[in-house]
Amino acid sequence: MKFLSPVLFIFLNCSFCALCFKTNKSLKLSYNINNLKKSRKNFNNNIKVYSSNEHLKQLKYVREVTNASIQICNNALKECNNDIEKAVELVRKNAKNSLFVSTSVKTQKEGLVAAGILDNKIVLIELLSDSDFVSRNDKFVSFVKNLVNIALVGEMSSLNKSEATANYAASSTTFTSSTHNIDNLLTLPYVDQNGRSNETVGEHLNYLRNIFREDIKIGRFTKYVKRNEQEFLHFYIHNVIEGNNTVGLSGVLLVMNIETLNENLKTKKEDILNIADDLAMHILSAKPVSISVDRLNEKVVKRELDIIKESLKDLKKPENIITNMINGKIRKFYSSVVLLEQEYMLDDTKRKVSQVIKDFSKKHEININVEYFDNFIIGEQNILKD
């Protein structure tokens, strides 16, 4: 009995320790689970209804333009009731650097860009699909090619002309991708590659939608008609499809005014084509929205000035210094969105595009000016232009 007492004591002591350990472990587990529930509840409260795909797209848009944190962008969207343009302005007004990080944002679209020239007309058009599988299909490629020819040949006089803003010369005959213009384009007779026509463009578009079960539609569209004999029409297509230089993933439509064009084309055609290609490639890379400062949309300039002034309002500096800072920031803005003010991207000379054009004109004794341009990139949208 005396021997059993110590053994029994040890056994009871071990049992008690084991019970305490188990209880403590259970309490810790319960505590961790409760904390996890609270954290999840707080997280759910934070995202609430904003976890929808639409909100995520808006959040991505604001962040892509401003490069601000997700939290700042999310708060801005909440404060602006999910108005993305106001949210961008709010983020930029409160940021140390109010300049755009990018004027282009990604879009969830596939498709092709195609271009063509006929006599005194040039067309650039974008055809969209949901997948690249469809946009690479022969039927899709043939349709976008035919669409260019139809737009070139078709009677477009009933369509609305674009307003003289951004890149457009005030008296030019330019048709752009307004809803009215695209609707009218859809009513034109659809002529296939064999010259047959028994339906409209819109009817053939619906035929393709039924075949592929995708939302195929005309995206952006520009048609320019020459105003005089000095205008040189040119297009450049990048990432061409199947070696066809009229169809690809991005493209530029360019109109240059060249003095004594016909005479210069006889002896300097290659030089003219080279500078046209170079300017088009720069436009595709730098993504300007206007040729010159005076052609930049007044609303865009006013909004930019308001954002800059708002971002500097709390600085305790003399008025003349604030004015200089505002002027410096607006010049920097111009250098990022105005073609002639941009730094030329095809060499390392750090010249402005305007200087590149002057140097070319002097070297080849050809007086040229950029009269109009437009550019489309599949999967990208310019927030100041489109």
Instruction: Give pLDDT, residue 85.
Output: 79
207 and 261 share a domain? yes
Final residue of a structural domain among 42, 64, 95: 95
280 half-sphere exposure, CB direction, 13 A CA radius: 23
- Res 48 pLDDT > 50: no
What burial class does residue 317 get, using C-beta atoms within 10 Å of its C-beta: 0-12 exposed, 13-18 middle, 19+ buried? exposed
Residue 65 CA from chain centroid, whole number: 10
- Res 12 pLDDT > 60: no
How far is the C-alpha of 268 from the C-alpha of 368, rounded, in Å?
13
- Res 72 pLDDT > 80: yes
Q: What is the pLDDT of residues 323-343, one digit of tens each?
A: 999 999 999 999 999 999 999
Residue 154, SS3 per DSSP: coil
Are 253 and 236 spatial neighbours (Cβ–Cβ below 8 Å)? no
162 and 72 share a domain? no
Q: What is the pLDDT of residues 156-177, one digit of tens each?
A: 554 454 443 444 443 446 777 6
DSSP state of 327: H
Q: Is residue 68 part of a domain?
A: yes
What's the CATH code of the domain at 284? 3.30.479.20
How far is the C-alpha of 257 from the C-alpha of 262, rounded, in Å?
12
187 and 79 share a domain? no
- Res 186 pLDDT > 80: yes
The type of residue at 370 is: V
Q: Is residue 304 part of a domain?
A: no
How far is the C-alpha of 386 from the C-alpha of 376, rounded, in Å?
10
Total domains, the chain: 2
How far is the C-alpha of 258 from the C-alpha of 101, rounded, in Å?
35
Average confidence (pLDDT) over 278-287: 96
What's the CATH code of the domain at 58? 1.10.8
Proportion of the chain above pLDDT 70, given as a percent: 78
Strands (E), 92-170: 104-106, 110-118, 121-129
- Res 194 pLDDT > 50: yes
Are 235 and 254 spatial neighbours (Cβ–Cβ below 8 Å)? yes
191 and 268 share a domain? yes
Is the model more confident about 66 or about 355? 355
Return the H-helix or E-strand segment holding 324: helix 319-337
Is the model more confident about 54 or about 339? 339
136 and 195 share a domain? yes
Q: What is the pLDDT of residues 248-259, one digit of tens each?
A: 999 999 999 999
Q: What is the pLDDT of residues 98-113, one digit of tens each?
A: 555 567 777 778 999 9
Final residue of a structural domain among 61, 95, 129: 95
How far is the C-alpha of 362 from the C-alpha of 230, rounded, in Å?
18
174 and 225 share a domain? yes
Final residue of a structural domain among 95, 118, 148: 95
**Average pLDDT over the chain, rounded to whole?**
82
Question: Is residue 376 very low, low, confident or very high in pLDDT (cuts 50, 70, 90)?
Answer: very high
Q: Which domain holds residue 76?
A: 51-95
- Res 230 pLDDT > 90: yes
For residue 182, give the nearest of 143, 229, 207, 218 by alpha carbon.
218
221 and 151 share a domain? yes
187 and 222 share a domain? yes
